[in-house]
C-alpha cells in the first residue's frame, strides 16, 4: 500500500481527510493547540520516551512522535491497521510540521519522508 495515497476523493475542504474532534496528548496530559508547534515539539520531546500524539475522535486516526533514545520517530495511522506507517530519524522541525498539518487535516508531510508500514 502506498503511504502517500490519500483516502479522500478530491481537494475540496469537505473531502479532506482530517480529524474533527482533535486531542493533543503529551506525557503530562492533554494540551490546547499551540501557538508554535516547534516550541511544543521541542519542549515535549526533550527526554527519551517522551511522546506527542494528535488524534481525532476515531481511535484509528492519529499522528504521533516519540523521542526514541534521542532520535525522533514519526508515525501516522490514517483509518485502519493497513494505513499505519512510521519513519525514523526525523528532525524536530519536520515533526512540528507534520503534527501541525495533521491538526488542520493536511497530509502533504507524507510525501516528504520514506515510510514503512507497521503491524500492531
d(CA 111, CA 94): 12
pLDDT tens digits for range 78-118: 888 899 999 999 999 999 999 999 998 899 999 999 999 99
Report the 10 Å Cβ neighbour count for 103: 18
User: Cβ distance 86 to 116 under 8 Å?
Assistant: yes
**Crossing angle of helices 37-44 and 92-104, rounded to 10°:** 120
**Does the reported pTM lie above 0.85?**
no
Task: Give the CA-trace dihedral at 7, 10, 15, 18, to 10 degrees.
Answer: 50
| DSSP assigned state of 49 | T
User: 63: which 3 cell numbers?
Assistant: 499522528
pLDDT tens digits for range 44-87: 999 999 999 999 767 889 999 999 999 999 999 988 889 999 99
pLDDT of residue 59: 81
pLDDT of residue 15: 42
d(CA 82, CA 73): 19
Amino acid at each position: 500500500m502506498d503511504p502517500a495515497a490519500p483516502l479522500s476523493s478530491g481537494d475540496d475542504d469537505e473531502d479532506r481527510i482530517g480529524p474533527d474532534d482533535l486531542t493533543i496528548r503529551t506525557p503530562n496530559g492533554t494540551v490546547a493547540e499551540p501557538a508554535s508547534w516547534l516550541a511544543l515539539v521541542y519542549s515535549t520531546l526533550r527526554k527519551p520516551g517522551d511522546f506527542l500524539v494528535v488524534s481525532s475522535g476515531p481511535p484509528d486516526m492519529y499522528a504521533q512522535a516519540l523521542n526514541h533514545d534521542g532520535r525522533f520517530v514519526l508515525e501516522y495511522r490514517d483509518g485502519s491497521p493497513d494505513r499505519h506507517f512510521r519513519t525514523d530519524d526525523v528532525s524536530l522541525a519536520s515533526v512540528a510540521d507534520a503534527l501541525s498539518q495533521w491538526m488542520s487535516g493536511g497530509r502533504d508531510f507524507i510525501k516528504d519522508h520514506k515510510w514503512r508500514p507497521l503491524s500492531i
